[in-house]
Structure formats: C-alpha cells, structure tokens
Structure 1
Amino acid sequence: MTRKPSMDEAVGLLEGELGSGQRALDDLVTEDLWLGFLRFGRRLFDVPNTPDVDGLLFQYGTHAFDGPPAFTLDLTRQFEISDSDGDHDQYVQVHCELKYELAPALEALGSFDSWFFHDAGDDLEVWAQGLTERAAWATIHRLKPTEVTVYQEQV
C-alpha cells in the first residue's frame, strides 16, 4: 500500500508538480501552472476521514492587497485541522497565486470562485473541465503571470 503524504509535505509537493517540466515558474503560462496544480490536486493526503477536510479552490478577481491593483488567480488546497476533541481548530491553505498586469479584458472577468472537496462524491476531472470551459479560461489560459508565489498559511 502506498503511503499518503502528510499535510506538512504539501508545499514541497506542489512546488514539485509545478516544476515537473523542469522550467522555471516565471517561464510558465497559466495553463502550465493549472495542470501542475491539478497533478497536485489528484494526490490524496493523510487526512482525517471527516467531511470537507481536503478541498481545492479556484478563484480569481482584481485586488490590491499589497500594492497596485492586479488580476489574481489563486489556486488553493485547503486542509482542515481539528483539535484533540475532533472539533474544527483551523485551516491550512497551500496557495499557488498567479498575478497579472491589470488589463481591461481581465478586469471585465470580475471575480469568481469554485470549490472541490475530495470526499463530496464529485469527480475532480469534471470539476476541472467545467472551469476550463468557462469564458474566462479563454482569456487567461495562455497568459504569462507577472508573479507566481507558492506559500502556506493558517487561517
């Protein structure tokens, strides 16, 4: 039986999937990064058997969190952490954040988010295909981000 990785290994595994083509992150277009994120998303982690403990989030919009406004695509994996009694304590999120120079076509996309949870009985490939069939995908899939950041945070 294959060992499932722990949540502590998630950032390194995501970085490995994103760089699996042996090209630097700043040489990749959105579609390359999305395919790497999906490879990462297909991995099953050693997590408790509780609802919504392991989810994927695809979200985009125009934001000015730490500088001038930029269009941001955030590909996130979220793990729920429970306390010793089994109650919710916090979430750990592993992000692949793609930022783009602001352009009218990107601003026109507005904002959007979609979740996938491994335990919900849905199919990851169907979820992913639905996202790439959205009109926004035609606008962003060949764009080269100005910045790609992979990081983990507790929320």
Structure 2
Amino acid sequence: MLRAPLARCVVPMATRACVSPASAGSAAGGPVEAAIRAKLEQALSPEVLELRNESGGHAVPAGSETHFRVAVVSSRFEGLSPLQRHRLVHAALSEELAGPVHALAIQAKTPAQWRENPQLDTSPPCLGGSKKTRGTS
C-alpha cells in the first residue's frame, strides 16, 4: 500500500504550518482540518503545527476528514508528561473528537524535543473492514 507523502510545509513568520497532500489545493484543507488547525493554534500557540489528513488510507469515502495525524510543538508542553500533553490537545479538539474525527494520532513535543527529531511519524496501513469480517473466508 502506498503511504501518503509528508505534508508540504510553509514557514510563515513564527509558526511553521503544513498543508497535507489531500488539502494542497486549498489554503487550509476541508472544514474539519481547518477547525483542528485553528483550535490548536489558539489553544497551544505552537511553534510547529504539522497536520496530515490520513483518511484516504482508510476504508472511508473519498474526501472524508475522519483520520488525522498531528505534530504539535509548543513551549506549553514544557514540564508536562506525554499524557498531560495529549490531554491538552484533546481538550482543544473535544468537539471534533466527539463528532467527525474518528482517529487522531498525536505527537506533542517541546521545541527542544522537536529539534532532536523534526519529523511527523508515519501510520501503519489500514487493515480495512470490520472486526467481525476479519479472518473469515
């Protein structure tokens, strides 16, 4: 299965933001992607915000906005455990996680951690189908 290429990054003044390949034709992708981006920027003032819509690699209709991967680099994460960082992200996106977003992979790093490894992780391929149909012939 082909993996989606890493998001194409644009570096404005202070925040590095990225556009996922699926949304490269528009400024902010679809409405869910735009909401995620805006809420994370407001809540965490990230130095780096990389957002990838991975819905195309899953068993969902074309154009869906249900599966996302995000890397958020913020000084707000200093001194917090990974769980506390994820809770901050979840709190900012509570509306999206209760509705249209089915899966959200989070990399929440401090600026120093990002400098050591500045890349968005990749996701394994989707197995597709439902648990009820897997392994049956």
TM-score, normalised on structure 1? 0.30
Larger RCO, structures 1/2 (Cα 8 Å, 6+ apart): 1
